[in-house]
Amino acid sequence: MTRAGFVALIGEPNAGKSTLTNRMVGAKVSIVTHKVQTTRARIRGVALEGDAQIVFVDTPGLFRPRRRLDRAMVAAAWGGAADADVTVLLVEAHRGITEGVERILEGLEGIGKGRIVALAINKIDKVQSEKLLSLTKDLNDRYDFAETFMISAEKGHGTEHLKQWLAERLPEGPWLYPEDQIADLPMRMIAAEMTREKLTIRLHQELPYQMTVETENWEERKDGSARIDQIIYVMRDGHKGIVLGNKGETIKSVSKAAREEIEEFLGRRVHLFLQVKVRPNWLEEAERYSEMGLNFKDGNK
Binding residues for GTP are 11-18, 58-62, 122-125
Angle between the 68-83 and 99-111 helix axes, to the nearest 10 degrees? 50
Sheet holding 43-49, edge to edge: 43-49, 52-58, 3-11, 86-92, 116-122, 148-150
CA distances from 82 to 6, 93, 109, 114, 281 (A): 10, 25, 12, 11, 31
- From 132, 253, 241, 271, select the one nearest 199 (Cα to Cα): 253
- From 77, 74, 103, select the one nearest 88 (Cα to Cα): 77
Q: Which H or E run includes 54?
A: strand 52-58
